[in-house]
A and B are shown apart, each in its own frame.
Chain A
Amino acid sequence: MSDDLKRKIIEFIREEYLEDDSMELKDDTPLISSGIVDSFSMVSLKMYLEVELGIKMTDEEASTEAFDSVNSILELVRKKLAEKK
């Protein structure tokens, strides 16, 4: 599940945000602080996660820090999934 989840998130980020297919995207690549994802377009990612995983994140939880890398997104998503159980 975890690997599958990570793959889905990476695929979404690639398709939604990366202008250049050859761009490297590691688990700790800064997304927001490096300008790959701006604070407006972050909405798409939040919505994708909420719809795909059936979770709900408050604006405070969906902070720029929490969305700044694949790793930090995974951490938040795992927390939300655990709360759901």
Chain B
Amino acid sequence: MAYTSAVREQFRNTLKEVEEAGLYKDERYICSEQGVEIVVEYPRGSKPMKVLNFCANNYLGLSSHPDVTAAAQKGLEERGYGMSSVRFICGTQDLHNKLEKRVAEYLGKEDAILFSSCFDANAAIFEVLFDEKDVLLNDRLIHASLIDGIRLCSAQRDSYKNADCAHLEKKLEMWKPRARNICIVTDGVFSMDGILAPLDKIADLADRYGAMVLVDDSHATGFIGKTGRGTPEHFGVMDRIDIITTTLGKALGGASGGVVAGPREVTEMLRNRGRPYLFSNAVPPPIISAALRVIDLVSETTKLRDKLEWNARYFREKMDAAGFRLVPGETPIVPVMLGDAKLANDMARELLQEGIYVIGFSHPVVPMGKARIRVQLSAAHEKEHIDKAVDAFIKVGKKLGVIR
């Protein structure tokens, strides 16, 4: 046994350093279903209390929606709990194929392929499609999974300033003579700032320089755009974005599962060479069954995304009027800027005592000096929930000197 006391001590010291830097991720136990009202045990061992949830990616309130859980139940009963295999051995069901077709159609793409998570999708895609003759140009605020995916690939890489098309153009000019293929990589919605990538301008640049565009639309699919098809729909460029990666783990039911949607050759390459696809178990039947129902729900009506849009606007207006410094935007991700990491954590802790569950974010998740509380609205929030949150923010904000 080589896990000696010296090794244990070494790991403990590292954890201590993390804690001393104020970066320790202290998890709260949720003792209820995921929803607007949740029961949380925090600090550990204390009496669980009922709070309003303002930090889940449950944008459309579908995580515990009765239709969705019923569909999951049906999937469980009819097809069982797990596939006990990867897709190419004996882990593919007709339902997997049906969901891939439905998602592709929903996103306006030729084909789609399912992964266990969008993290896996992003980890798979670059290594399969690009090599040292190619260049990947990524926005500097892309999600960690895209960064990891790019790291796994031998393509040349460079980055441009967040949502800065002038800077992107300089990079395209520089790399154009040095590359076989160039792919611009961006999030559709940047999860820490809640701002949108300017996909219309990016698509124009891509056309001008003959580059591909890959968008991770995980924080947009289902609710951004007039019918919820995401940032490409919002900017009117659904047919000009080559590849979309997204998740079933946020607005689309909130369980798990990732998707790559794009040209058929891309999905076929991933089916044949995508390591996280080839070596991971198939997404289990209850999730596939529930996701099919979710696609029905978001295709039939825009009621939920419309309510979410109203909720986000209402919260932003109220918080702005109260004097909080927000990152301006139009998404249900509303960063309340505080600057100091300790202040962000203190404020989140005090808000929990007021019955509002939010989380403080600090470096390295966000840039140094830009600590914030990220509030996420849901279609499941009612006006009175939002009013209660704003009142709590005002009370705690005044106490901690954030607002006057």
Binding site for B on A (CB under 8 A): 19, 34-35, 38, 40-41, 43-44, 47
Contacts and interface: CB of A to CB of B under 8 A. Distances in A.
Contacts of B140: 38, 40-41
A43 B363 contact: no
A40 B138 contact: yes
Given A40-B138, A40-B147, A40-B150, A35 B159 contact: no
A19 B157 contact: no
A38 B171 CA distance: 16
Contacts of B156: 43
Interface string B152-181: 000011110110000000010010000000
B401 interface: no
Interface in B346-384: 363-364, 367-368
Contacts of A35: 363-364, 367-368
Given A40-B150, A40-B159, A34 B368 contact: yes
A35 B156 CA distance: 21
A43 B157 contact: yes
Contacts of B367: 19, 35
Contacts of B138: 40
15 contacts: A19-B161, A19-B162, A19-B367, A34-B368, A35-B363, A38-B140, A40-B140, A40-B147, A40-B150, A40-B159, A41-B140, A43-B159, A44-B159, A44-B171, A47-B174
A40 B158 contact: yes
Contact of B159 (A34, A38, A47): A38
B363 A41 contact: no
Given A34-B368, A40-B140, 17 more contacts: A19-B161, A19-B162, A35-B364, A35-B367, A35-B368, A40-B138, A40-B150, A40-B157, A40-B159, A41-B140, A41-B158, A43-B157, A43-B158, A43-B159, A44-B159, A44-B171, A47-B174
Interface of B: 138, 140, 147, 150, 156-159, 161-162, 171, 174, 363-364, 367-368
Nearest to B157: A40
A43 B147 CA distance: 14
A62 to B, nearest CB: 13
Contacts of B162: 19
Contacts of A47: 158, 174
Contacts of B157: 40, 43
A24 B156 CA distance: 31
A44 B140 CA distance: 12
A38 B150 CA distance: 14
A51 B147 CA distance: 26
Contacts of A19: 161-162, 367
A41 B150 CA distance: 13
- Those 9 A-B pairs whose CB atoms lie nearest each other, nearest first: A41-B159, A40-B159, A43-B158, A35-B368, A40-B157, A44-B158, A35-B367, A34-B368, A43-B157
Most buried by A among B138, B150, B157, B159: B159
Contacts of A38: 140, 159
Contacts of A44: 158-159, 171
Nearest to B150: A40
A47 B175 CA distance: 11
A47 B367 CA distance: 24
A19 B193 CA distance: 15
A63 B368 CA distance: 22
B85 to A, nearest CB: 36
A35 B368 CA distance: 7
B144 to A, nearest CB: 11
A34 B367 CA distance: 9
B156 to A, nearest CB: 7
Nearest to B156: A43
Contacts of B368: 34-35
A43 B367 CA distance: 20
A57 B350 CA distance: 51
A12 to B, nearest CB: 12
Contacts of B171: 44
Nearest to A20: B369
Contacts of B147: 40
Nearest to A19: B161
Most buried by A among B147, B158, B363, B367: B158
